[in-house]
A = this chain, B = another copy of it.
Amino acid sequence: MNAKNSKSKSLPIGIFDSGIGGLTVVRAIRRLLPCEDIIYLGDTARVPYGTKSPETVIQFAREDARFLLRQRIKAIVVACNTVSAWALPELERICKVPVFGVIEPGVSSALQRTKNYRIGVIGTNATINSRSYTAAIMAQVKKAKVFAKACPLLVPLVEEGWINHKVTLEVLSIYLKPLLNKNIDTLVLGCTHYPLLKSEIKKITGTEIALVDSAQSCAESVKVKLENRGLLHPSTDRKGNVTVYVTDAPEHFTRLADRFLGSALKTAWKAEL
């Protein structure tokens, strides 16, 4: 191993999302890779991306990635399904470090779980319109049937804090019914906000349908990929730091962040992109 690689290993992992949903990915990576330092960027001033056009999503993603690259990192995790759906080729072009998205791990996980190859996918308008999940699943298993449904109200419901709420259950039931009618046996939660609704979703889907949490699948895949590239942190007995940057006022953000991170976020810093 050369000196350069040895130095890279100790660098933080850069993670970004349109807002704070990506903290569910941070949480999952922390659990699997507690020794790693993490620098997180949430573009809270311009959130959401899921309602925006591909051109705008790509432009914002480029600015987000450049901010992380300036912090010196060993890899970038795109903790946002919308960015993963539209901007991965552009990010791979401009980044000298490996770039990991959330879609490919979610697809692998769905294909491991499904038995009847009838897979449902829910996400933002932009993610669903991209047809990225459908294309990635069918590239691997041609006979698979993918039923995708945009669910634009779920992010606002989570951000309003209506997690265990009859309205959320009703909205979920309206969104999921067309997928259930297609006899799916696996449902991909294709947005980093959705893991917070997992237990509500289960009330609609029952126990027979496997739920694929793209945050969890992404974390598992990041671990394997860093290991394969010899990029895991050299120490195994340290506790990594998480540094959080946001583009809107930080104090506006910490209260909601705790819900996604699963623990209290002490400080967030203002990022200038």
> A residues within 8 Å of B by Cβ?
44-47, 51-56, 60, 152-153, 155-157, 159-160, 162, 166-167, 170-171, 174, 247-249, 251-252
Contacts and interface: CB of A to CB of B under 8 A. Distances in A.
Contacts of A155: 156
How many copies of this chain does one complex carry? 2
A134 B166 CA distance: 31
Contact of A56 (B45, B152, B159, B166): B45
Contacts of A44: 52
B153 A52 contact: no
Contacts of A51: 47, 159
Contacts of A249: 53-56
B157 A53 contact: no
Nearest to A43: B46
A54 to B, nearest CB: 8
B152 A156 contact: yes
Which residue, of A156, A157, A167, has the highest number of chain B Cβ atoms within 10 A?
A156
